[in-house]
Amino acid sequence: MTPSLPHPVWHDGDPGSDDAITLLTLLGRLDAHLLGVSTTHGNAPLSATTHNARALLLLAQREDVPVYAGALTPLVREPVFAPQIHGVTGLGDVELPTPGREVRSEHAAAALIRQLCAQPGEITLLATGPLSNLALAERLRPGVLRQARQIIVMGGSVDVGAPKLGNTTPRAEFNAYADPHAFHIVLGSGANLSLLGLNLTRQVAVTRARAAQLRDTGSQAGRFCGALLDDYLDRIAKLGQTAGALHDPCTAALLLAPELFESEAARVEILTDSGDHLGETVRVEGEPNVSLVIKADEVGVYELVATALGHLA
């Protein structure tokens, strides 16, 4: 049997500890060809998330992968960050090497348009932060997101076996809350969207044992990711939380091992009016616009991530 070609992948995110693990997971897999990384505001300001992306590529000895800085702010609302979870740098108190290569001058939205149009129907786009860059690309070139083979979004939360909805407000997940108007544009783009909300990612718990599993891969990348999870658990403990979730790496796992998940067609919309429901995602009747991921194999996800990290330096 002839081996399949690597998946062409683009990662758009706001690194962020879980974005960092996502990026390193992709870099540790031979069946993922990372074309580029674009950054946005989110867990930390754009300057920090862009620095983190460059430093992560240096850690993985993959500075050949280009990095494009994108949206400094959301489309409409004021920026919100998450220092209580990710620290002011986005990566808590875990240190990374200082990157050498500069970020590309092209804006992330322009780079996305260029790459998607150059390879129509081929690229899978992983979106693990606020969706500002994707929405800007769609506004600049209407229909461009439909050129992606698949767009896998970590964001939102719907009431499918979920004990609670939000993690930023009682009803809103952070990425959706940080730029709900961008989320609305992407949901309405007609692209092939897979949506992983908190109702899914909370099935993949973060524990001290899971942090140790990543550290025990023996690689520098594995030790770094284990430290990220320990830092995350320390921070949420100060907020009175006893359980964490491995949010963003589920996007990479869905791409690389879809058999670890169950999905169903659904229509999801987001509330953009100001007030207590800002950023809330709701499942409604009507023509499906997403493949809603509803179940995950926690053991399988961690095995995939740990194995990928073990392949790095």
Active site residues: 247
Distances (CA, A) of 161 to 31, 121, 231, 245: 32, 33, 28, 15
What phi and psi, each to the nearest 5 degrees, are found at residue 193? -105, 135
Query: In angstroms, rounded to a whole number, what is the distance separating the alpha carbons of residues 192 and 205?
Result: 27
Crossing angle between the packed helical segments 46-59 and 17-27, to the nearest 10 degrees? 30
Query: In angstroms, rounded to a whole number, what is the distance separating the alpha carbons of residues 159 and 164?
Result: 8
Query: In angstroms, rounded to a whole number, what is the distance separating the alpha carbons of residues 46 and 39?
Result: 7
**Burial, 310: exposed, middle or buried (Cβ in 10 Å; 0-12, 13-18, 19+)?**
middle
At residue 135, the 3 state secondary structure works out as helix
The answer to whether residues 215 and 116 touch, using CB atoms and an 8 Å cutoff, is no
Please list the alpha-helical segments (H only) found in 130-268: 132-140, 174-178, 180-187, 198-201, 208-215, 220-238, 249-256
What phi and psi, each to the nearest 5 degrees, are found at residue 199? -60, -25
Query: In angstroms, rounded to a whole number, what is the distance separating the alpha carbons of residues 223 and 240?
Result: 26
